[in-house]
């Protein structure tokens, strides 16, 4: 009896877990955008203090307000170039000389696209060396690819 119940349960699950729809489905849009639409950066540093709850060293961070305009030669979607000029007045003086080699950069890209570093480019979202330009490949949902060059420099 138990064997028969198990067989019926398996058949029930097999029927319920399948779909009857095979045609007349709505065609979904395939996104073709492979652009960087926004770029931001921040700086993080260890304070030397120990957090009493975790025992880990405290880390401070500061968002670096940036002067950016995507309508200039430095930021040209047709060429795949993007420059962010950060304002370093918020960085503590003892870190200003080395801050650019430990920046955290993050970007916003087109809907449904993915981004990956090319070569020695740092992983976005974690501290990396931004003293030189880096290239990233943005792939749209439809497979279109574009190589972007990102430059991070102090605002003068």
DSSP letters along 61-81, please?
EEE--EE--TTSTTSBTTTTE
Structural domain count of the chain: 1
Q: Is residue 109 part of a domain?
A: yes
Q: Is residue 15 part of a domain?
A: no
Measured between alpha carbons, how far is 155 from 31 in angstroms, rounded to an integer?
Answer: 34
- R_g over Cα of the chain: 24
Q: Is residue 141 part of a domain?
A: yes
Residues with Cβ within 8 Å of 149's Cβ and at least 6 positions away in sequence, in order, are 80, 81, 82, 133, 134, 135
**Range of 70's domain?**
36-154
Q: Is residue 80 part of a domain?
A: yes
Q: Is residue 29 part of a domain?
A: no
More confident residue, 72 or 3: 3
DSSP-derived 3-state class of residue 36: strand
Q: CATH number of the domain at 118, please.
A: 2.60.40.4120
pTM of the model: 0.75
More confident residue, 130 or 1: 130
Q: Is residue 25 part of a domain?
A: no
Q: Is residue 88 part of a domain?
A: yes
Q: In this model, does residue 93 exceed pLDDT 60?
A: yes
For 148, counting Cβ atoms within 10 Å of its Cβ (0-12 exposed, 13-18 middle, 19+ buried), the class is: buried
Q: Is residue 71 part of a domain?
A: yes
Span 37-73, pLDDT tens digits: 888 899 999 989 999 999 999 999 998 866 554 444 4
């Amino acid at each position: 009896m138990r064997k028969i119940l198990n067989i019926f349960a398996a058949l029930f699950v097999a029927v319920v877990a399948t779909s009857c729809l095979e045609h007349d489905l709505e065609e979904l849009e395939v996104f073709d955008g492979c652009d960087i639409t926004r770029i931001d950066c921040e700086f993080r540093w260890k304070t030397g203090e120990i957090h009493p709850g975790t025992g880990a060293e405290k880390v401070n961070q500061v968002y670096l307000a940036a002067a950016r305009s995507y309508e200039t030669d430095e930021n040209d979607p047709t060429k795949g170039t993007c420059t962010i000029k950060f304002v370093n007045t918020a960085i503590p003086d003892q870190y200003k000389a080395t801050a650019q080699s430990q920046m955290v950069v993050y970007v916003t890209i087109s809907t449904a696209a993915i981004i990956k570093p090319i070569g020695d480019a740092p992983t976005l979202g974690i501290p990396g060396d931004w003293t030189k330009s880096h290239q990233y490949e943005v792939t749209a949902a439809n497979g279109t690819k574009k190589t972007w060059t990102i430059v991070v420099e102090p605002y003068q």
